[in-house]
Amino acid sequence: MRAGEISIKTKMIYAAAVCLILVFLWLGNEGSSPLIYLGSELQHSVGLIDSQYSLVIQESVAMNGIVANTPKYVLNRGSYTVWLNYTAQEADSVLELWEQGRKLAAWTIDPSKTHITADFTLTSDAQQLQFQINYSGKGPLTIKELSFQPQTMFYTDTLFMMAVFLIGSVAVWLSYSGKIPRPTQEQIVDYSIILGVALLASTPMMQTYLYNGDDLCYHLARLEGLKDGILDGQIPVNILPEGLQGNGYLNAMYPYLFLYIGAFLRILRVSLGLSYKVLIFLANLGSAVCAYAAMRSMCRSRRSVILAVVLYTLMPYRFTNIFSRGDLGETFALVFWPLVIAGLYHIVIGDQKRWYYLTIGLGGILQSHILSAAFASVFCVITALIYCVRIVREKRYFGIGKAAGLFFLLNMWYLVPFFYYYFGGDLSTEVLRWSGYFEQSINPSNFTQSISLYNKQYFSLGLALLGCVGIAVIWLLCERSSTKTAKDGYLLYLLVFGCILTYMTTGYFPNRALLVNETYRDIVTMIQFPWRFLGPACTCFLFAGAVSLGRSDILKPYRNIIFALLVGLNLFVIVSVPTDNNHMPYDNAAAAASKGHESKLAANIGLFYPYEWRLDGADDAKLTSSVVTSDVNDMTIRDFQRKGTKSEVTYAARKEGCFLELPIQNYRGYRAYDENGDAVQILKGEAGRMRFAVAGDGAEHKIYVRYGPNPLFLAADLISGLTIGGAAICLWRKRKRRCEA
């Protein structure tokens, strides 16, 4: 056997181990297991629980109507079977199946039988599927157990995990066999640390349930809506077609680029819960990678680089966003803040050829969170003003121009629809403003503590980042020689900027006094929460401290101890994330095949579409899923069909002056045509609906409604696409020249 060649025995052992793990993964598949509810586990408003954990409804204590129901599920289209075990003495009670206010099916509870077994088929994915028991109000009714099961699988989570493991195993094999370039030993260590820290940061998500953060239900709705929009043929997806009970919800106002990953997983029938967890892992991995790349470009100390990776990925504020606030947008925005700081450093001080760091950083933040993009833009402007003399003297404005130009060209596809709707639609925005902005200020005593998910308003810098502040102070105030370098000035700038931002989050900042100014009030109430400044503040502190540690002579003998101490302190962030025992996967034997995967269908969270960016008047109570007519006596709706953003209605009106309203939000971009292909004017109806004046000739007519395409949007998409293609070609040529050299 030649040196470096892998033996047949090793190959066989490796293949056997991979196959064994794949078998174990498959044996743990819950995708086909039924969801089982004892009567006591159903959500109920009336009734008693007997010794068999059944729900007993008595005629003397109950009213007729819905008395019990399951949670609401996000289910893939397909065929399912439902079972209901019961005892009843009187007829007319019904088991009903509902989806977003529409009854899909109903099965009579026959008193001569003790169970119902019924099959049903979902022709499209469901967002709020729910079983309800409609009690007739006559005689006792005992619900013993309700369960339902897919005829194939609820989701393909196990297949997805098997595919990920298999791809990783093949990549490891090809690397060690020399089929693909093998990284150096130092690279292997660095990559292992990055992956390990990302996995460590994701361990609280390795539960069978989801932490129900403040905004989680909205981001789950965005994931599901993006999937529906892609299947509708929209790319980019500007309208979530199934949102607001099928009326449609505007998506262009909240960045969503990285959510496409989760949306494509949903298209592959991966569960909504796992799709969200994959996004969180990628955000953790991206944070580690960006911190590594940014710090490595600014500092030669490998110790400082690894310190930045660990401290940034395990930063308390990131964990607060993920687990307490459920803020997926700001979580992804924090991934790119290190690149913004490093990009500005290279543009104003360092290697001008690395101006693209700023483009990637700003672009990533813009595609994650609008307010964070505004913060980053202000940070860039302030930095440019402070270093304006140096920028002009050394002609560094070329780097700024290239970074800004490429940024706008790459993000044109998102910016054009955003401004198109922001300035051109009757959108509800008042809910975005919080008049009690100053009341959200932070108590500075929390800054030294770790994270606690039991307090929703809990925000901290953490001891490790405070240690970084101390290191930066030691270097900048005690060690700098009389010959001050430009890097020292930038580190001081980061430290001061971080302190200002931190001060602005506290109750000591005079927000109450400043709110009397109308301009200031408009700005901060749009920001909503002062604690948003903690993200960029923490990043500034981390970079100032980590770079200073690599340059300090006083701390040089203690660098290993300081490194271990800071990393150890940050690990307490993971330890302090609690495990909620109420969400243990299996409560009892009867639920052994059920509660472990209920959360993957978002049954414990639900989906929610916020009031901002709706059309004025589109309250939940006013939404409908059927056609509304001005005169039920003189108008007849023959047929109404909707699929995604495409709808058609057939009507007949016997007098003039009538109108109909379709259950579709009247966002800009929709077009309507009649059966002859002639354009039909879309009017503004009640609750944001589309209104159409109809022909009163008594004949049957049709109206077809379609969304897009918008020529302005298409032009922006083309510009961004060509820019991406041009950038890819330039990178390929540059790499080719480097290889030839």
Report pLDDT digits (tens) over 83-138. Answer: 999 999 988 899 999 998 889 999 999 999 999 999 999 999 999 999 999 998 88
For residue 431, what pLDDT band results from cuts at 50, 70 and 90? Answer: low
Residue appearing with tokens 């472990």? 596
* The two structure tokens encoding residue 449: 């503590």
Write the CB contacts of 474 (distance below 8 Å, at least 6 apart in sequence).
548, 552, 554, 555
Average pLDDT score over residue span 581-593: 45
Nearest to 652 by CA among 622, 670, 668, 675: 675
Instruction: Say which residue, 413 or 206, is predicted with more confidence.
Output: 413
pLDDT band at residue 611 under the 50/70/90 scheme: confident
Three-state DSSP state, 251: coil
Of 660 and 62, more confident? 660
H/E element, 226:
helix 216-231
Maximum C-alpha span of the chain: 96
At residue 526, the pLDDT reads 84
Mean pLDDT of 715-722: 96
| Percentage, residues of the chain above pLDDT 90 | 55
Give the single-character DSSP code of 5.
Answer: P
- Signed CA dihedral, 717, 719, 724, 725: sign only: positive
Work out the average pLDDT over 505-512.
89
Average predicted confidence (pLDDT) for the chain: 88
| pLDDT tens column, 493-508 | 999 999 999 999 988 8
Answer yes or no: is pLDDT of 586 > 70.
no
Q: Please report the DSSP string for 27-81 in residue order.
A: HT--TTSPEEEEGGGSEESS-EE-TTS-EEE-TTT--SEEEEE---EEE-SEEEE
**E strands, 628-730, where?**
628-629, 635-643, 646-653, 659-665, 670-674, 683-684, 689-693, 700-707
pLDDT band for position 583 (cuts 50, 70, 90): very low
- pLDDT surpassing 70 at residue 451: no
- Can you give the pLDDT at residue 93? 92
Of the ranges 210-214, 286-290, 296-300, which one carries the lowest mean pLDDT score? 210-214
What residue type is 175 in one-letter code?
Answer: S
Tell which residue, 196, 185, 194, 203, has the closest CA to residue 306.
194
Instruction: Provide the 10 A C-beta neighbour count for residue 424.
Output: 9
Q: Provide mean pLDDT across the span 188-214.
A: 86
For residue 428, is pLDDT > 80? Answer: no
pLDDT for the residue 207: 74
Q: What is the spatial distance between Cα 559 and Cα 168, in angstroms, rounded to a whole number? A: 35
> In this predicted structure, what is the pLDDT of residue 593?
44
pLDDT for 1 equals 42
Would you say residue 692 has pLDDT above 50?
Answer: yes
Q: What is the pLDDT of residue 483?
A: 59
Task: Identify any residues that bridge with 640 across adjacent strands, giving them in sequence order.
Answer: 649
Torsion sign, CA atoms 727, 728, 733, 737? positive
Using DSSP bridges, classify how beta strands 126-135 and 65-69 pair: parallel, antiparallel or unpaired.
Answer: antiparallel
- Pick the most confident of 317-321, 534-538, 605-609: 534-538
Residue 26 confidence (pLDDT) above 50: yes
Residue 310's nearest CA partner among 542, 109, 28 is 542
Per-residue DSSP letters for 706-737? Answer: EE---HHHHHHHHHHHHHHHHHHHHHHHHHHH
Whether the bond between 557 and the residue before it is cis, its omega within 30 degrees of 0, is: no
Give yes or no for residue 2 having a pLDDT over 80. Answer: no
Question: Residue 532 pairs with which residues in a beta bridge?
Answer: none
Residue 581 is predicted with a pLDDT of 43
Is there a contact between 151 and 254 (Cβ–Cβ < 8 Å)? no
**pLDDT at residue 95, as a whole number:** 95
The residues, ordered by sequence, that sit 6+ positions from 739 with a Cβ below 8 Å of its Cβ are none
Q: State the pLDDT at residue 501.
A: 95
pTM of the model: 0.93
Region of poorest pLDDT, from 230-239, 288-297, 443-452, 670-679: 443-452
Q: E strand or H helix at 305, and its extent?
A: helix 302-313
- Confidence (pLDDT) at 371: 93
Closest listed residue to residue 615, CA positions, set 680, 682, 542, 660 = 682
